[in-house]
Amino acid sequence: MSNTVTLTDNRTGKSYEFPIIDGTLGPSAIDITTLYRQVGMFTYDNGYTSTASCKSDITFIDGEEGILKHRGYSIEYLAENKIFLDVVYLLLYKKLPTTQELMTFRKELKTRSFINEKMLKLFDAFPDRAHPMAVLQACIATLSTYYSREMDFNDPNESMELAIRIIAKMPTLAAFYYRHTMGYPLIYPDLDRGFTENFLYMMRSFPHSYVDLRPIEVKALDSVLMLHADHEQNASTTTVRTVGSTHSHPYACISAGIGALWGHAHGGANESVVRQLEMIGSVDNVDKYIKKAKDKDDPFRLMGFGHRVYKNYDPRAKVLKKMRSKLIDELDIDTNLIRIANRIEEIVLQDDYFVSRHLYPNVDFNSGLILKALNIPTDMFAVIFTIGRTPGWISQWMEMREHAPMKIVRPRQIYVGPKSGEEDDRKTQIELKVK
């Protein structure tokens, strides 16, 4: 049996055969690389809902079953047994680290976490209320000027050096800008602290004072970072790969990814969740907003429910829900936002309107509440997402470089504009002469 698909043009009766590409998991794909040459037509797939843009061995998602795997390891297993840096190592090196490898990796990240002091002047160029994502995007683009284009990006060792460097510096840049906007003195990375703990330390500490970082807080933030590490070919990852296909500097690719992630439909979603909870204001108002969400004529939509890919429960949301409960219990938090969120979640999980539409809580619903409980400013939520996603982006960039031949991404379009403008212009000129 031929491993192909036959496409028939019913207008002419002519048929064309295209090969099928099989992966190790998930749906197969029809290779339509030669479609235009054979048929003289394009495919149209608005939003790329049925289009595989690459082959990858990094992340697998089964949206129907609610499955997420990184290099074969389920997200549930990783969340239960590993830390964020284990997953970062897995994405970069294609295997989980041994104890010694993790220690060496952690040490290298620490030593590379400092930034060139000249970059601090960049912060002064922005307005006081500039969004942190705009600043971070500019900082990462600027970082490319410190690490020359003369580097050989095709050399795996140099690519890995670039990857480790940007993963290490991203939390420092984020924490430094936050403290700059608050007028606080900068707190430099502490080489005696772990990756996630160091970020909280740089955010909260003050010179010559003790900062109390409870283990549950570090674990909660570590879980948030891990669960955002990579998520297949989403909008920002596709942006990184698209810019990378032009042979741009990898940090320019990451900067472009930050721009895509910033959007409220992507990385800004957990910020939108919290702002919506604040807008609802009280548990007494929840039923009113649930009714608005179910009204097809009302533009209001509940943030933090449903997912473009997952038609089952988002596996990351399950992990974070447990962590959210544990964090709230250990810190003894009982806020109005949490009560509102709990009431909304209780209704949505039982109401057939939401259940039948697969509108389950997603990762943004729970991560926003966890970050709020950790006293992370709301406009820093997407920045936390960026810190977590950077290892995935740079791993995707490295994988793209490995897969030859690397072709520049160049989608086509269906043109629906005027067939000819010249005739209209001639008519206009004639009318002007007559007048």
Residues tagged active-site: 307, 364
Gyration radius from the chain CA atoms: 25
Ramachandran assignment for 358, one of left (phi > 0), alpha (psi -120 to 50 degrees), beta (any other): left
Q: Which residues of 123-158 are buried (b: 16+ CB within 10 A; e: fewer)?
A: beebeeeebbbebbbbbbbbbbeebeeeeebeeeee
Round to whole Å and give the CA distance between 297 and 170.
43
Give the pair of three-digit tokens for residue 349.
Answer: 């999980």
Please classify residue 228 by burial: count the beta carbons closer than 10 Å to its beta carbon, then call 0-12 exposed, 13-18 middle and 19+ buried: buried
Q: Specify whether the CB–CB gap between 250 and 162 falls below 8 A.
A: yes
Rounded Cα gap, residues 97 and 323, in angstroms: 24
Going by C-alpha positions, the residue among 70, 68, 96 that lies closest to residue 82 is 96
Strands 4-9 and 59-62: unpaired
150: tokens are 């003369």
* CA–CA separation, 159 and 151 (whole Å): 9
